[in-house]
Amino acid sequence: MSVNVTGKLAIIGYAGLFPQADSPEALWDLLCAERDAFTEIPQDRWPIADFYSEDRFAPNKSSAKWMAAIDLPAAKQAVWPEFPATEHATVDPQQLLLLHVTGQALAHAGLTASALAEKRVSVSVGCMDSENMHSQLQSNLPVGPGTVFGNYQALLANRISQHFGFTGESKAINTACSASFMALSDARAQLVKNSADYAIVAAANLNLHPLKYYAFAKAGMLSRSGSCTPFDITADGYVPGDCIAALCVTTLEQALKEHHPIHAVIEGMAGNHNGNRAVSPTAPSVAAQIELLQLALADANLPAQAVSYLEAHGTGTSLGDPLEIEALAHVYGHHSCHVGSVKGVIGHTEAAAGLAAIVKTLLMFRFNAIPGNHWIKTLNPLVAERLAQLQIPRQRQEWASTPRRIAGISSFGSGGANGHIILGEWRASSRPTTVAEPLPPGFYLCESNSSSQHNLTAWLAGKQWRPDPQQDSFCRSAIWVGERKTERLRPLTSMPLLSETDLNDSPHFLNLLLCPVVVVAATAHHALSSADLLSLLPVGSLQLDAQGAMAKLPVAFVQELASLPITLAALSPEWLTQAKELERYQFTFKLLVAKWKKYIPCEPNGINERLAYAMAYSDLYDKWSLQPKMIPSSLGIIRKLLNAALFQERQFAAWFSEKEIIVNKIVFALAETVAAGKSVPIDIFSGKEPGTVVFCASAISCDPKMLNTEKYPDVLLIRSWIGRKLLPNPMIKNSGLSVPMYFSD
């Protein structure tokens, strides 16, 4: 009986050369020995004396002098006799070692070049830099054809194809640190569309020239301490590592048909790019990573709960680690799931990092165990507060075999190209899950921007969408599924008229407004009292009249501001200790704490000192696009108000120190901003929590254009206050108030 295995790949062979480990089995011994492969840069690479300086900013020097290196002289001695002597001096060692390791992966799969002679075999190789070319240009060797052809990245793949006689597509792929995953994605495309019967997926990363060290040390990316410690508070950057690795893969269907050994099944995978969701081309993006993980699970047709281990990208940088854990916890943190990173043992092998992580996971399937993250002494507080139910074990432990071991593996490129795969162990009794049935035609709501049918929640709406008071008032995204296509719906253009009766009898209509609004009272006569009407509008709405300002703010926000000194005092001594430890190790956080201590007179362990650390946390969360944790949530809104320039940091510090009623100060600042006709960001008070109406008596003069009483006497004017044109100025028709409705993400 045939089994539906469309899209599933089988890993039937693998091999690798790793720092202080010349085989996958040796790598497993290293992983379980609770030691690492970090040493000073070997003398056979380049002399440290002319290269290193403790001064990070010394020109043409590196403040990092560490590497996780393979024994290159020993590897050359073992492998070079296989190749012509004329190539030994000029050809990139990555080419020759990759040929050797590819042969080992084929042997591990029980395959030979002659056995594959009648098959279409593609070759996809991940790479990052031609460091041997830099060395060649600085050497005294005469330039010849081998100087160029021996160092072109394309030859990393093309030479494998030529050597073994493979006739499928052959290409080198460079997306920096995610290159090996992009190579695997390319191989999958070849296999799934039947352009290849088998695929070689390989990657090479040898550190052969100091140029990268000069640049990356200046950027603060490389460890100066000589250790790569993902998730630990001491993490100060990564240690570059060597790695040559290769996989032999085919479709699961082909593997079963030909009775190949199956070491694991690639259940699903996904790739994406940060786009403009990161602050720079080299910065990570939480939003992009969350999207990536969800896409990979959807591709595998598996729930997050099926995954019990996550091999993180985990580079050991103070920025990358917390952002990655936040994304992992968002998708996988609702159940117990272990997390690890091979980089804590062999460093960041860059172009080969994804394959190193895959080989580690294959060994975990083989030995039924999870190696410990032995280097962790104290978790980074920014990591610890984001773990949810994720666990980062420090000692080796057994990996539960039921119902089936499945892992998620991440690899992120420094240019913003990301990859994630779902890797499952193979059992003889395993049966791949079938592809979900397509959705029947109709209207659907989805929880994210993904249009994957697996992520849609069915909500049949008939031919015309109608609001339902029992549904969420903000529809995130609407999709129409037809017989042959899926289409995302544009905002509705119809504008139903709401009479005064509607306002009283169906107040939920008001909640369909896309965003907070400004309510300006032109007269004292309204269908509803001002406070009653304001209570019906979305949280964040503001009313101005001659008596002062009223705002509808989240209840929790108002309560937290009122009790902020008590809330700060209740933060545990351990929290303050962790904050001070983070200040010691994290340079950006240290600067932020110093800024707030300049604004706030602090006594040791006093309330003001706790506010300084809490605001520094809030600033760091904002700078790195992290969700606030372990501090009062009201401070996150304070940060947004500060970003919107409604008031200054010094003002807020003064209000707190002088024991002012801060919520009144905030309402006054909002009112002043709106009365001047300025915009306020849309997401300041985003959320669906209940609101409370707060009154602030103040002398605020509105821009006469806002009232516009001549054109619309005796009515309430509702205007957008977000600086966007999604909400047109309301029109009064037949004594009714016209309110636009939109689908919104």
Residue-wise pLDDT tens digits, 629-681: 889 888 988 998 999 888 999 999 999 998 889 999 998 888 888 777 676 76
C-alpha–C-alpha distance, residues 685 and 510, integer Å: 17
Whether 429 maps to a domain, the answer reads no
C-alpha closest to that of 467 among 506, 515, 439, 518: 506
Residue 286 lies in a domain: yes
Q: Do 588 and 665 fall into the same domain?
A: no
Residue 380 belongs to a domain: yes
Alpha carbon distance 540, 515 (integer Å): 8
Pair (151, 94) in one structural domain = yes
- Please indicate, yes or no, whether residues 184 and 162 belong to a single structural domain of this protein: yes
Question: Considering the domain boundaries, does residue 435 fall inside one?
Answer: no
pLDDT, tens digit, 9 for 90 and up, residues 222-259: 999 999 999 999 999 999 999 999 999 999 999 999 99
> For position 701, what pLDDT does the model report?
65
Spatial CB neighbours of 441, under 8 Å, sequence gap ≥ 6: 481, 482, 483
Q: Which residues neighbour 413 within 8 Å (Cβ) at sequence distance 6 or greater?
A: 175, 176, 177, 178, 179, 182
Predicted pLDDT at 381? 93
Could you tell me how many residues make up the chain? Answer: 745
Looking at the fold, whether 673 and 530 belong to one and the same domain comes out as yes
511-555 pLDDT tens trace = 444 345 566 654 443 445 667 767 767 677 777 766 778 888 888
Name the more confident of 590 and 686.
Answer: 590
Domain closes at, from 369, 393, 424: 424
Contact status, residue 51 vs residue 213, Cβ threshold 8 Å: yes
**φ and ψ of 199, to 5 deg:** -140, 140
Among 424, 453, 480, give the residue marking a domain's end.
424
Q: Note whether residue 703 is domain-resident.
A: yes
Q: Last residue of a domain, which of 609, 630, 651?
A: 630
| Whether residues 637 and 626 fall in one domain | no
Q: Do 258 and 317 belong together in one domain? A: yes
pLDDT on residue 286: 93
Least confident of 302-306, 355-359, 720-724: 720-724
pLDDT for res 521? 57
Same domain, 504 and 477: no
pLDDT for 36 equals: 96
User: Are residues 477 and 363 both part of a single domain?
Assistant: no
Q: 209 with 170, same domain?
A: yes
Residue 434 lies in a domain: no
CATH number, domain containing residue 263: 3.40.47.10
Q: DSSP letter for 540, please.
A: T
pTM: 0.80
Whether 588 and 458 map to the same domain: the answer is no
State which residues form the domain around 378.
Answer: 9-424
Domain count, the chain: 4
13-43 pLDDT per residue, tens:
999 999 999 999 999 999 999 999 999 999 9
Through-space distance between the first and last CA atoms of the chain, rounded to whole angstroms:
44
Within 126-210, residue ranges assigned H as helices are: 131-138, 145-149, 154-164, 179-192
- Residue 436: inside a domain, yes or no? no
pLDDT at 699: 67
Same domain assignment for residues 625 and 641: no
- Whether residue 293 is contained in a domain is answered as yes
457 and 522 together in one domain: no
**Which residues fall within 8 angstroms of residue 262, CB to CB, at 6 or more apart?**
10, 11, 12, 252, 255, 256, 426
The percent of residues in the chain predicted with pLDDT above 90, rounded, is 56
